[in-house]
Amino acid sequence: MKIIEGFEALKSILSRQGPSSDFEIDEREKAVREIITEISRRGDAALFEYTQRFDGVTLDALEVSKKQVIVASNSVDQELLSALDLAAERIYTYHIAQRDSLLSEGVRDGLGWLIRPLKRIGIITPGFTSPLPSSLLMAAVPAKVAGVKEIILATPPQKNGSVHPAILAAAKIAGVDRIFSVGGAQAVAALAYGTESILSVDKIFGPGNIYVTLAKKLLYGVVGIDGLFGPSEVVIIADDKANPAYCASDLLAQAEHTSGSAIMLTTSWKTAHKVRNEVEVQLKGLKNREEAEKNLEDWGMIGLVESINEAVELANLYAPEHLLMLVENAESYLDKITAAGCVITGEKGTVALCDYIAGPAHILPTGGTARFGSPLNVTDFVKITSLIDTDKIDIKEIGRAAQIIAETEGLDAHAKAIGKRLEDPS
């Protein structure tokens, strides 16, 4: 891994200057537009064709039956089932506390709000090459806590034509209502428009490849979208007391993600070099060594700064998905952190714990969007409606001010509508 010294040099690298090329109109977007058009026109027939073309699987039916879910769940290793149960329990607990803290209706002086859960949502879960049951739990459990009435899962079949048992087991644990063997951009289009088999949803959740992301981008407005997610990112801030083996292991964990940024900022020259050496040692034991090594070469670095405050400033500038604070008295720096999807503290802190079982959802803002975006949470699954009770508002006190504003904006009918109320002696 390269080591870069100096605040100004690092600032230039981490500022994310210049336009992103991720969403340029290229052949990929044209292909996604075609898929969306075909799904909207031909529904299930197009889904069967795309599943055969992209996944190499010929399906007899799109929907996974309840019996198939039960059989698949029973085939899953008991240790994995127990782990998924524990993860779901912790995710439930975290989001119930979040719901009780954030979602309460209120009315004061005639003004308030109504909170209503979304009726039906769709979750996209990758699973063609490797199953991602954790991603399913991270979206489905908060949806249940928020009170969503119906959860539909779209996940691609494996080469043998069936959905991976681990995903079906997670779906059963999370209380998913219906499951369809559909993936990719075609799954996003099907959930947005609906087909003969798949009901259209209010909002779509879950990460995916560039084709899924482009489909979400193009269909925003037709359907609600949780966000546009890019490659995963971690910034580690480490002092001279940080464990080099821990730092290296998290950098390597990040390097397992294609194009995932793995960055460490430290005040210690010794720590920087120890971590770089430890990365080389740990690389030798990885199954996917070549990919991790390439990703670290392309997207990894260690930065040397003069103080933890400088490191925090650079982290805020970069606005990473994950910020791992391996420093003494990490809590004392929390007030200074303004842009991160998830902050992990503690001597044995690791992003991997957040990815699977800590409790908060691991669907987080990427690409610098932590400057203004938030992790997936219970508020993503509800609608808030403003409530105005005019019987409890003194219209005479505020009506003339409203008239003046309406007249200034040239909206005569607005001003007259208010005037009617002001003229009424009752």
Task: Tell me, yes or no, whether 236 and 206 share the same domain.
Answer: no
Contacts of residue 134, Cβ cutoff 8 Å, sequence gap at least 6: 87, 170, 355, 356, 362
Nearest residue to 137 via CA among 83, 88, 172, 181? 88
In a domain, 379, yes or no: no
Q: How high is the pLDDT of residue 118?
A: 98
Catalytic residue among 278, 310, 313, 321: 321
In a domain, 191, yes or no: yes
Nearest residue to 406 via CA among 398, 421, 396, 416? 416
Task: Tell me, yes or no, whether 181 and 210 share the same domain.
Answer: yes
Q: How high is the pLDDT of residue 19?
A: 58
Identify whether 38 is a catalytic site residue: no
Task: Tell me, yes or no, whether 221 and 256 share the same domain.
Answer: no
Which residue type occupies 110?
G
Pick the last residue of a domain from 225, 254, 277: 225
Q: Kind and range of the H or E element at 190?
A: helix 184-193
CB 122 within 8 A of CB 94: no
Pick the last residue of a domain from 345, 362, 379: 362
Q: Kind and range of the H or E element at 84?
A: helix 78-102
DSSP-derived secondary structure letter, 159: T
Q: How high is the pLDDT of residue 45?
A: 97
Task: Tell me, yes or no, whether 221 and 247 share the same domain.
Answer: no
In a domain, 211, yes or no: yes
Q: How high is the pLDDT of residue 257?
A: 81
Task: Tell me, yes or no, whether 77 and 159 share the same domain.
Answer: yes
In a domain, 386, yes or no: no
* Below-50 pLDDT ranges, the chain: none
Whole domain around residue 197: which residue ranges?
A: 27-225
Q: How high is the pLDDT of residue 110?
A: 87
Task: Tell me, yes or no, whether 144 and 245 share the same domain.
Answer: no
Pick the last residue of a domain from 225, 249, 281: 225
HSE-CB at 197 with a 13 A cutoff on CA atoms is 23
pLDDT per residue as tens digits for the range 317-347: 999 999 999 999 999 999 999 999 999 999 9
Task: Tell me, yes or no, whether 60 and 177 share the same domain.
Answer: yes
Identify whether 328 is a catalytic site residue: no
Task: Tell me, yes or no, whether 268 and 129 share the same domain.
Answer: no
How many distinct structural domains can be found in the chain? 3
Task: Tell me, yes or no, whether 340 and 403 share the same domain.
Answer: no
Task: Tell me, yes or no, whether 260 and 157 share the same domain.
Answer: no
Structure tokens at 100: 């009780």
Measure the CA–CA gap between 282 and 297, rounded to whole angstroms. Answer: 15
Task: Tell me, yes or no, whether 281 and 139 share the same domain.
Answer: no
In a domain, 376, yes or no: no
Q: How high is the pLDDT of residue 128?
A: 63
In a domain, 370, yes or no: no
Hey, CA dihedral for 9, 11, 16, 17, is it positive or negative? negative
Catalytic residue among 196, 322, 362, 397: 322
Task: Tell me, yes or no, whether 399 and 306 share the same domain.
Answer: no
In a domain, 186, yes or no: yes
Q: CATH code at 333?
A: 3.40.50.1980
Beta bridge partners of 261: 233
In a domain, 389, yes or no: no
